[in-house]
Amino acid sequence: MAKHRIALIEGDGIGHEVIPAARRVLDALGFDAEYVEAHAGYEYFLDHGTSTPDATYEAVENTHATLFGAATSPTDKPKGFQGAIRHLRQKYGLYANVRPTKTRPVPGAFQNVDLVIVRENTQGLYVEQERLYGDTAIADTVITRGASQAIGQFATRLAMTRRQQLTVVHKANVLPVTQGLFLNTIMDEARLIDGLNLGTMIVDNAAMQLVRNPQQFDVLVMTNMFGDILSDLAAGLVGGLGIAASGNIGDQFGIFESVHGSAPDIAGKGVANPTATVLAAVLMLQHLGEAELAAKLDNAVNRILEEGPRTRDLGGTAGTEEFTRALIGML
């Protein structure tokens, strides 16, 4: 019997290209796993009337971790459609969205960046409670003490395994009730930790500081939408979405995915960069306690990024297949 059971969800668009590539890479790495393939996303919804079938829940629940490709969420939401990845995050209480940003050998990257954005993953504005009253649209934002405590503790623990520095990013100056609860709850938790270098920063300043001096940061924690936006910004500092990975982590389950979406502009063309999904697999390996395999894969990715072939998003000419083969060759 294989040591690990892994659910694989391709999802939509380039998910069909990057997940098979990542699986081949994991095989070449010698990762001892049995895979359970499952469906989720907009394409599945169009064919079957649901974005997430029961078999997908079973796959997530009966495996040790899930590797997820990408899911489309159309701006013009059809009736009955539920964004697949947001739904899974909610259903399984995957409250921590962990998005590391690290300098890798790619052209134009900021040097010496090594930070992690920890995004609260289940609340904030993304509870998707919107209403229209005539010409007025209202969206709820939900912040609870419990969820803020959980994400605060997660971020604090993570910071203590790194450079012991935590920045709480917020907008409590304008939204003292919701953002204030988030900020104060985390500050109360984090102040109790000996040796933690704790700071706060207002989100708009954080956006500017990330661009001007990203090296000052270690771990940053923030509410859902701020984390969504700033983590793409951070990805842009070091080479873009083609190499940005994330983990959705709860007390029981973990779903690992790229930061990018389904990339309809390039889907089906064989040019998607699978690195983001491969690096999501690195986070998955770390989560599964396979530190050695994780390090080996991470190093192989860096060597390929340095020596080539490079995909088009990083200024090269390689397609998904050529890049994947080169990475497999390196392993």
Instruction: Indicate which residues carry an active-site annotation.
Output: 126, 171, 204, 228, 232
Write down the least CB distance from residue 123 to ligand NAI, Å.
17
Which CB atom, from 43 or from 290, has the smaller least distance to ligand NAI?
Answer: 43
Could you give the count of Cα atoms lying within 13 Å of 11 in the half-sphere of its Cβ? Answer: 30
Q: Considering the rule CB under 6 A, would residue 72 count as an interface residue with ligand NAI?
A: yes
Q: Total binding residues for ligand NAI by CB under 6 A?
A: 21
Residue 317 burial by CB count (10 A; 0-12/13-18/19+): exposed, middle or buried?
Answer: exposed
Q: How far apart are CA 119 and CA 128, in angstroms?
A: 17
Stretch that binds ligand NAI, among 70-78, 96-104, 132-140, 197-205 (CB under 6 A): 70-78
Q: How would you list the strands of the sheet with 197-202, edge to edge?
A: 33-38, 4-11, 65-70, 254-258, 245-249, 96-102, 114-120, 219-222, 165-170, 197-202
List the single partner that 218 binds among ligand NAI, Mg ion, none, CB under 5 to 8 Å by kind. none
Query: Could you tell me if 18 and 274 are in contact, meaning their C-beta atoms sit under 8 angstroms apart?
Result: yes
Stretch that binds Mg ion, among 79-87, 144-152, 224-232, 310-318 (CB under 5 A): 224-232
Q: Considering the rule CB under 5 A, would residue 228 count as an interface residue with Mg ion?
A: yes
Stretch that binds ligand NAI, among 24-32, 163-171, 268-276, 301-309 (CB under 6 A): 268-276
Write down the least CB distance from residue 260 to Mg ion, Å.
8
Residue 309 burial by CB count (10 A; 0-12/13-18/19+): exposed, middle or buried?
Answer: middle
Write down the least CB distance from residue 316 to Mg ion, Å.
25
Q: How far apart are CA 93 and CA 188, in angstroms?
A: 23
Count other C-beta atoms under 10 Å from residue 203's C-beta.
20
Q: Which of 259, 255, 313 is nearest to 288 (CA)?
A: 255
Which CB atom, from 117 or from 172, has the smaller least distance to ligand NAI?
Answer: 117
Which CB atom, from 218 or from 228, has the smaller least distance to ligand NAI?
Answer: 228
Q: How far apart are CA 91 and CA 1, in angstroms?
A: 29
Which CB atom, from 178 or from 277, has the smaller least distance to ligand NAI?
Answer: 277
Which structure tokens are listed for 299?
A: 């190093």
Q: Considering the rule CB under 5 A, would residue 10 count as an interface residue with Mg ion?
A: no
Q: Considering the rule CB under 6 A, would residue 265 count as an interface residue with ligand NAI?
A: yes
Give contact residues for ligand NAI (rule: CB under 6 A). Answer: 14, 70-74, 85, 241-242, 257, 260-266, 272-273, 276, 313
Give contact residues for Mg ion (rule: CB under 5 A). Answer: 228
